[in-house]
Amino acid sequence: MNDPQSTTPSRTGLILVISAPSGGGKSSLCQRLLNWSPNIVYSVSCTTRAPRGGEQNGRDYFFLSTEEFEKKIAAGEFLEHANYNNHYYGTPRRFVEEQLAAGRDVLLDIEVQGAMQTAQYVREGTFAHPDALVMVFMMPPSLELLETRLRRRGTDSEEAIRKRLALAQQEMAYWPKYDYAIVSGRLDDDFEQGKAIVIAEKCRTMRAVKDGKPWQQKELSF
Tell me the domain boundaries of the chain.
4-209
Instruction: Specify the pLDDT at position 6.
Output: 47
Q: In this structure, are residues 103 and 12 in contact, taking their beta carbons and an 8 Å threshold?
A: yes
Residue ranges of the chain whose pLDDT lies below 50: 1-9, 211-212
Instruction: Specify the pLDDT at position 222.
Output: 64
Q: Are strands 15-19 and 133-139 parallel, antiparallel or unpaired?
A: parallel
Fold assignment, 4-209: Rossmann fold (3.40.50)
Tens-place pLDDT, residues 138-171:
998 877 877 787 787 777 788 888 888 888 888 9
Q: CA dihedral in degrees (23, 45, 123, 184; nearest 10)?
A: -20
Helix (H) or strand (E) holding 121: helix 112-124
